[in-house]
Chain A
């Protein structure tokens, strides 16, 4: 143990030898090192060799410049990063942080929301998806939690708009979780019809509105989009920062 400690201290003193040669050690460190040197032949030898090395290096001659480097004419002024570029960098950082935060929130919400599926939660998700899709059609298709469209027969009721009839496509799997709706389905034929409707509806929705996605798909695409945005923003921000760091060098 003492031997290990001794070796450790020896290594530390060896590191100080260079600064000792230049008289750059603190008074306390210098006294400690000198006390160690009194008892350590290896360090004394190394110190002497280090001094020789410094002396030999210092004896290297300086070459004369092969020509004059004076400037015949003033060089064109360099284009330095402008305040606008700095603002752009700040904007990029802000956008990256915002996108990363949004991604984190979506992912947390996704994980937290999967096992639940309460009515209140569904409403929140519905609003979120509508906002994320951002199209008027999507806004109208948002009330996925409405239980009525899941009943197959209701889609044939005159007076109900196409969008309202297509709503089951968005909330097809959600509606299956509702016990009340399950009770409403009586008999195998009705169930078959429901399945047929549910299967046809997405195709119609995609054809007519181009955005009839399930909740999971929306969340997945939102995550992919945000993840890609964060990635791109980080790369652009790093590039802008690199450019500025080059500009900052003297």
Chain B
């Protein structure tokens, strides 16, 4: 999600306009929270998301223009990585919370009905477990690219690395996720299972 007058809001925020900053928070809090949720345990995700916005406000002066969402997600990513290092934690059941709180608008329409719902929940759990097996840097890039839909340019900014590194991390992360999912093919939705 982007907002039309983002640049103006950032400029006002830098001058100390808290309302302008809170408008940016409202626009991006869901993405930031979801990134934290997929990287950390649900109990830690909320605190990490809040810390992201506090840190962002404090460091607005270091924002040199460009993509504000990527800059914000980079802060969130750094906080998540610090948290992971600190707690050595792995997300275990965070997708349960994600699915419970998931917005109906985000759920693919073809996945309806109790059986499909149960399958989706099971698949979601396995996807989260699969993500948890990736090294933090690969997990981060897969979440940002394949779940949040960031472009490669945004990924460069969000991760602070070169395009080649971004490509390489995505390729390695996807290869691992492919292996993980293909070993659990029976959990995939019907449209994927027919290719067996």
Contact of B146 (CB < 8 Å), options: A46, A58, A70: A58
Q: Does B106 contact A (CB under 8 A)?
A: yes
Chain B contacts with A in 106-165, Cβ cutoff 8 A: 106-108, 111, 123-124, 127, 142, 145-147, 149, 152
Please state if B62 and A63 are interface contacts (CB–CB under 8 Å): no
Binds A, one of B2-10, B17-25, B83-91: B17-25
A interface vs B, CB < 8 Å? 15, 17-19, 21-22, 24, 46, 48-50, 52-71, 73-78, 80, 248-250
A80: chain B residues within 8 A (beta carbon): 61-62
User: Do A56 and B188 contact each other (CB < 8 Å), given the known contacts A64-B102, A71-B22?
Assistant: yes
User: Do A71 and B18 contact each other (CB < 8 Å), given the known contacts A57-B146, A65-B30?
Assistant: yes
Residue of B nearest to A64 (CB): B101
A70: chain B residues within 8 A (beta carbon): 22, 25-26, 29, 53
Please state if A62 and B103 are interface contacts (CB–CB under 8 Å): yes
Is chain B's interface secondary structure helix, strand, loop, or mixed overall? helix
The CA-CA distance from A73 to B52 in the complex, in Å, is: 15
Contact of A62 (CB < 8 Å), options: B30, B63, B175: B30
Please state if A250 and B74 are interface contacts (CB–CB under 8 Å): yes
User: Do A69 and B53 contact each other (CB < 8 Å), given the known contacts A57-B142, A59-B108, A63-B34?
Assistant: yes
B interface, size bucket: 35 or more
User: Do A68 and B29 contact each other (CB < 8 Å), given the known contacts A62-B103, A63-B102?
Assistant: yes
Contact of B59 (CB < 8 Å), options: A65, A76, A78: A78
A52: chain B residues within 8 A (beta carbon): 178, 181, 188, 192, 195
Residue of B nearest to A24 (CB): B152
User: Do A68 and B26 contact each other (CB < 8 Å), given the known contacts A60-B127, A75-B57?
Assistant: yes
A248: chain B residues within 8 A (beta carbon): 62
Given contacts A24-B167, A59-B189, 4 further A-B contacts (CB under 8 A): A17-B171, A61-B103, A69-B49, A249-B75
Q: Does B40 contact A (CB under 8 A)?
A: no
Those 4 A-B pairs whose CB atoms lie nearest each other, nearest first: A61-B102, A18-B171, A57-B146, A63-B98
